[in-house]
Amino acid sequence: MLTISFIGTPLETIIYLLCVVASLLCAYLLARAYARGRTRLLIWSAICFAMMALNNLVLAIDVLLLPEVDLAIPGAVTALLAVAVLLYGFIWETP
């Protein structure tokens, strides 16, 4: 049976949450810049940072809440998707 046990210290929790918040803030600022300027590379960058925030959240859950469950594959998939989105934007949306 899966049991959720919090094993992190308060400092670790703050650091992991700050990583998630920083990625979300970057995604928000990039999306807002896209709304103003309509430069398509900005939206791809915003999507990339949103996926990086999801990756940071998966990492925090893996380390702090579910240490007995291996979430390496979901973490690697979200990181790969984030980089793939940004790479797509670099290749196909460059003038």
Is residue 4 pLDDT above 80, yes or no?
no
DSSP H or E segment with residue 8: none
Percent of the chain with pLDDT over 90: 83
The pTM assigned to this predicted structure is 0.91
Q: What is the mean pLDDT of the chain?
A: 93
